[in-house]
Amino acid sequence: MKYPKSLALSTVLASSFANAFTTSPINHGSGTSNSGVSLAAQRRDFLETAFASATGMATLFVALPPQGAMAEPRPMYLSEPTDEFKANEAKAMEFKRAQLAAKKEFNAVIEKFLAESNNEDAIVRDLKDMQRLVAKGGGLPLGIKKDELFKIIRSKKGKGFWPTNCEIAYQSLQGEIRFQQSPNLDKEMGNPFQ
């Protein structure tokens, strides 16, 4: 049996609890009567039985822990990180530093692009520099969003001076960003659209 103590205890409790609600015959003179049980005796019997039942149930829960408490203990957490974890953290920090450096370089090109006057050669050169940085980094650096970059370039385009060579360089930059950020293309062969 899985719980022999609890089975025996529940049997004892059930029998004593059942006896609390039965009336014992009281002898009144010549005959016995079941209806003549005094109210005080019934209350006393009920309270004694209820107290015994409550004590038994409390003993049952204390003596027999629940099934979940008998499960094996949880594994303890390490107090010191493992070497593999430290190596992964070092790689993550190195990646983050490289991305911050790439973002700084990319932001410098964007600032130069915005600050320069409307000179076709300078605009094309800045767009080509951005394209080169995108190809070198395998996409835009972390923290620079494609849509925000395109809004910045279109704001300069909307100010008026935007010759055909600037549009070609802008479309080429868009194609390079799409190619580098697409997960479905083989990047080792290079961008076939450029």
Task: Convert the pLDDT of each residue in 137-159 to its tens digit.
Answer: 888 998 899 999 999 999 988 88
pTM confidence score:
0.54
Say whether pLDDT at 116 is over 50: yes
Distance of CA 70 to the CA centre of its chain: 29
The three-point CA angle 109-114-117 to 5° equals 115
pLDDT in tens, 52-109: 777 777 776 666 655 655 667 777 777 888 899 999 999 999 999 999 999 999 999 9
